[in-house]
Amino acid sequence: VETDVYGHGIIGILEGNKKGKKIAWRSDMDALPNRFPDKVDFRSKIDGVQHGCGHDIHMAIGLGIAEILSKNKKSLNGTVYFIFQPEEETFVGAKAMVDKGLLTKIKSDEIYALHVSALPVGKIMAKPNEMFAYQKRVRIKLKNELSNEEAKELSQKIDKKLFRVKTNTKPWDIQFLADPNLGLSNPNTIYQDYLFMDKDFRIRTKENELLLEAYIYETNKSNQQNIIPEIEQLIKETKYKDQLISIDYIQNNPTIQNDEKLTNQAINTISKIYGKQSILPDYGQVPYFNDDFAYFQQKIPGVYFLLGGSNFEKGIIAMNHAPNFMVDEECLRIGVKSFSSLILERLKP
């Protein structure tokens, strides 16, 4: 066990009795700054802090996998690295661990991670390539010569110009992620082929400048390069063209990119062991959410899974960041057994 990588990060290294492949499992630790009511007896003891996104579930599953594999050390071919990573919510921890030299200490061939989600308990979801929309925060800098009403009018024009969704769909309604007719598992899901912005731009002044800021959610990777030129062209066609100073992305986090070959192999392995019903197909890209696991994937081929945590019959909805976030703890058992089995199979020569 090593604790000197970054912050509260912990690395557990499990070496099998035989040489072989090297695989990493990442679990993220973080909490949210809110005061949502939390009925569980293991809620945070710190006022204003809540595990409202399931990181405690992720850590428990990571420890469970480590325990199972440790008990089977004699039959392990290779090495398993357990990365317990802090600061996921701020998109800081993974990059910081990489920058601090984590990957000089561990030499992994593959890396895996999961996030508990609003999907039904017992279900696992993954897909090759993008799991989430590309999320960027754009800042439009103008001379401070516009009234608040004019700034709102301009922001509405920009929103209308960029807006692209499939007919009769509202991909910003994430409460339907698990819906069998609208959600990710339906080939006609509402969560595909869209571009939309935050409903309201943040409008503020700084010295002699007016700043318009908003997040953009785009599913099409190749279209990203067109967004800023389109905004610039629109503004140049308005009476505010002489007020424009600059347009830039002020937040441009990488997006989860699942390795195609590893993803298909992982889905097939879990399906073979636990049945095809254990895996849900994924036909969409989730807006709003993302994960800094992407920084590990830039260096190591990897797969990121969504693990179902909801039990609708019991009224348990594992919608991350929502006021009534709850998790059916059966997902702990499912996560541990499914991904312990996956790693054991991947380690076989």
State the Cα–Cα distance between residues 71 and 60, nearest whole angstrom: 17
pLDDT score, position 66: 98
Paired strand residues for 204: 211
State the Cα–Cα distance between residues 84 and 29, nearest whole angstrom: 7
In this structure, are strands 257-258 and 129-130 parallel, antiparallel, or unpaired?
Answer: antiparallel
pLDDT score, position 263: 98
Domains defined for the chain, CATH in brackets: 10-131+255-347 (3.40.630.10), 134-251 (3.30.70.260)
State the Cα–Cα distance between residues 325 and 305, nearest whole angstrom: 19
CA-nearest of 282, 257, 256, 255 to 267 is: 282
State the Cα–Cα distance between residues 299 and 122, nearest whole angstrom: 30
The tens place of each residue's pLDDT in the chain, 349 residues long, gives 999 899 999 999 999 988 999 999 999 999 899 888 888 888 888 989 988 999 999 999 999 999 999 999 998 999 999 999 999 999 999 999 999 999 998 999 999 999 999 999 999 999 999 999 999 999 999 999 999 999 999 999 999 999 999 999 999 999 999 999 999 999 999 999 999 999 889 999 988 899 999 999 999 999 999 999 999 999 999 999 999 999 999 999 999 999 999 999 999 999 999 999 999 999 999 999 999 999 999 999 999 999 999 999 999 999 999 898 999 999 999 999 999 999 999 999 8
DSSP state of 302: E
State the Cα–Cα distance between residues 31 and 87, nearest whole angstrom: 9
| Positive or negative: CA dihedral 56, 60, 62, 63 | positive
> Which tokens is 347 given?
């380690």
State the Cα–Cα distance between residues 204 and 216, nearest whole angstrom: 18
- pTM given for the model: 0.95
pLDDT score, position 230: 97
SS3 32: strand
pLDDT score, position 44: 87
Q: Which helix (H) or strand (E) holds 177?
A: none
Query: Which amino acid is present at 143?
Result: K
Angle at 187 (CA atoms; ends 185, 188), nearest 5 degrees: 110
pLDDT score, position 331: 98
**For 3-67, where are the E strands, in sequence order?**
10-15, 18-29
